[in-house]
A = this chain, B = another copy of it.
Amino acid sequence: MELRYPNGKKYKGKKNKAGRKNANQILYGNRGMTLEEDLNETNAYYLQEGIAVIHKKPTPIQIVQVDYQSRSTAVIKEAYFKQPSTTDYNGVMNGKYIDFEAKETQNHTSFPLHNFHEHQISHMKQVVAQGGICFVILRFAKEEEIFLLESRHLFFYWDRMLAGGRKSIKKEEIEENGHPIPVGYRPRIDYIAVLKQLYAL
């Protein structure tokens, strides 16, 4: 959501008594925004600025019953959520294919791997095999800390779990192998800035 004055001018945040901008404090203290909402706005910003074309895929649904009440109106009366077979986000930047999943946890010290499905890991491996850029965005909700972790690291922790190891990634491991993404205003979660450092984009 972009704040604007009634005349259409963009809201840039007010100075407080100390003369310091506090727009971020207002916008980010207890905003209650989900990671998905933040990423949707980030992607809308990238699109608008011509930086990248990244979209969230629709939630996959199994439709069972549809009522065609008129020629133009179809109402879905019974449907079920399906487990996604791919990641949620993909798109293009400078011709390169970009693919990622985003998850958040209320935990403080580790990121549970049950946030991911076997199908998604398989998909990410297929993308990497085709030379795509693939990663996950992990958010520690309580601390409002966000990391980009390249998928090869996720595969390592996933395989460690399958081999009988821990069912989560330690936060120290994410700090060591991942890349922090500072939370900003526009864009909110500038993961492209991290990708530019990691890849020739």
Inter-chain contacts of A194 with B (CB < 8 A): none
Q: Is the CB of B130 within 8 A of A53?
A: yes
Q: Is the CB of A74 within 8 A of B81?
A: yes
Copies of this chain, tallied across the complex: 2
With A55-B86, A77-B78 already in contact, the answer to whether A95 and B96 are too (CB < 8 A) is: yes
Inter-chain contacts of A50 with B (CB < 8 A): 129-130
At the interface, yes or no: A120 with Cβ under 8 Å from chain B?
A: no
At the interface, yes or no: A8 with Cβ under 8 Å from chain B?
A: no
At the interface, yes or no: A101 with Cβ under 8 Å from chain B?
A: no
Q: Is the CB of A79 within 8 A of B96?
A: no
Q: Is the CB of A61 within 8 A of B76?
A: yes
At the interface, yes or no: A90 with Cβ under 8 Å from chain B?
A: yes
At the interface, yes or no: A115 with Cβ under 8 Å from chain B?
A: no
**Can you list 14 A-B pairs, Cβ within 8 angstroms, ordered by A?**
A47-B126, A53-B126, A55-B85, A57-B57, A58-B59, A59-B61, A61-B61, A75-B80, A76-B78, A77-B77, A94-B131, A95-B96, A95-B130, A97-B98
